[in-house]
Amino acid sequence: MRFFRLLKILSVGIRFGLDELILQFETSGKLLKVSRALFFWRRLTDPPAVRLRRALETLGPIFVKFGQMLSTRRDLLSPDFADELARLQDRVPPFDPDLAIAEVERALGGSIATLYRSFEREPVASASVAQVHFAVLPDGTPAAVKVLRPGIAKVIDHDLALLEAAGALLHAVWPEARRLKPREVVEEFRKALTDELDLMREASNCSQLRRNFLHSDMLAVPEVFWDHCASSVMTMQRMVGLPVSHVEALRAQGVDIPQLARVGVEIFFTQVFRDGFFHADMHPGNIFVSNTGQYIALDFGIMGTLTDVDKNYLAQNFLAFFQRDYKQVAQAHIDAGWAPADTRVDEFEASIRAVCEPIFDKPLREISFGRVLLRLFQTSRRFNVEIQPQLVLLQKTLLNIEGLGRQLDPDLDLWKTAKPYLERWMREQLGLEGLLRNIAQEASAWSKSLPELPRLIHHALVRQERTPWAEELARLAEAQRNLRRVINFTAACVVVIAVLELWRVFG
Least confident of 50-54, 72-76, 339-343, 501-505: 501-505
Asked if 405 and 339 sit in the same domain, the reply is: yes
Confidence of residue 203 (pLDDT cuts 50, 70, 90): very high
The helix (H) or strand (E) run that includes residue 287 is strand 287-289
Q: Is the pLDDT of residue 288 over 90?
A: yes
Asked if 226 and 281 sit in the same domain, the reply is: no
Q: Is the pLDDT of residue 424 over 80?
A: no
- 26 conformational bin, left if phi > 0, alpha if psi -120 to 50, beta if neither: beta
Asked if 410 and 459 sit in the same domain, the reply is: no
What per-residue confidence (pLDDT) applies to 320?
A: 80
What per-residue confidence (pLDDT) applies to 106?
A: 96
What per-residue confidence (pLDDT) applies to 155?
A: 80
Asked if 451 and 309 sit in the same domain, the reply is: no
Which of the listed residues 68, 89, 110 is the one where a domain comes to its end? Answer: 89
The strand pair at 295-297 and 277-279 is best described as unpaired
SS (H, E, C) 245-279: CCHHHHHHCCCCHHHHHHHHHHHHHHHHHHHCEEE
Rounded Cα gap, residues 138 and 136, in angstroms = 7
Asked if 60 and 166 sit in the same domain, the reply is: no
∠ CA 195-210-189, nearest 5°, is 20
What per-residue confidence (pLDDT) applies to 431?
A: 58
Asked if 80 and 115 sit in the same domain, the reply is: no
Query: Of 428 and 250, which is predicted with more confidence?
Result: 250
**DSSP assignments along 122-175, one per residue:** S-SEE-SSEEEEEEE-TTS-EEEEEEEPTTHHHHHHHHHHHHHHHHHHHHHH-H
Which of the listed residues 411, 430, 449 is the one where a domain comes to its end? Answer: 430
In a 13 Å sphere around the CA of 157, the CA atoms on its Cβ side amount to: 6
Asked if 212 and 121 sit in the same domain, the reply is: yes
Q: What is the pLDDT of residues 60-88, one digit of tens each?
A: 777 887 787 777 666 567 778 878 887 77
Asked if 356 and 459 sit in the same domain, the reply is: no
Asked if 81 and 127 sit in the same domain, the reply is: no
* Percent with pLDDT over 90 in the chain: 23
Rounded Cα gap, residues 49 and 317, in angstroms = 32
Least confident of 47-56, 164-173, 349-358, 442-451: 442-451
- Phi, psi of 361, rounded to the nearest 5 degrees: -70, -15
Judge whether 289 and 256 are in contact, CB under 8 Å. no
Query: Of 57 and 338, which is predicted with more confidence?
Result: 57
Domain that holds residue 284: 240-430
Q: Is the pLDDT of residue 23 over 70?
A: no
Asked if 496 and 362 sit in the same domain, the reply is: no
Q: What is the pLDDT of residues 439-486, one digit of tens each?
A: 665 555 666 666 666 666 666 666 555 555 556 666 666 666 666 665
| SS3 (DSSP) at 295 | strand
Judge whether 52 and 76 are in contact, CB under 8 Å. no
- 214 conformational bin, left if phi > 0, alpha if psi -120 to 50, beta if neither: alpha
Query: Mean pLDDT for the chain?
Result: 78
Count of domains observed in the chain: 4
Which of the listed residues 403, 430, 457 is the one where a domain comes to its end? Answer: 430
Q: Is the pLDDT of residue 495 over 60?
A: no
- Phi, psi of 235, rounded to the nearest 5 degrees: -115, 125
346 is known as an active-site residue: no
Asked if 124 and 7 sit in the same domain, the reply is: no
Q: Which of 159, 281, 299, 310 is catalytic?
A: 281
Q: Is the pLDDT of residue 365 over 70?
A: no
Instruction: Report the candidate in 453, 158, 414, 155 with the shortest Cα–Cα distance to residue 269.
Output: 414
What per-residue confidence (pLDDT) applies to 425?
A: 75
Asked if 80 and 107 sit in the same domain, the reply is: no
What per-residue confidence (pLDDT) applies to 408?
A: 85
pTM of the full structure: 0.72
Instruction: Report the candidate in 400, 365, 383, 405 with the shortest Cα–Cα distance to residue 74.
Output: 400
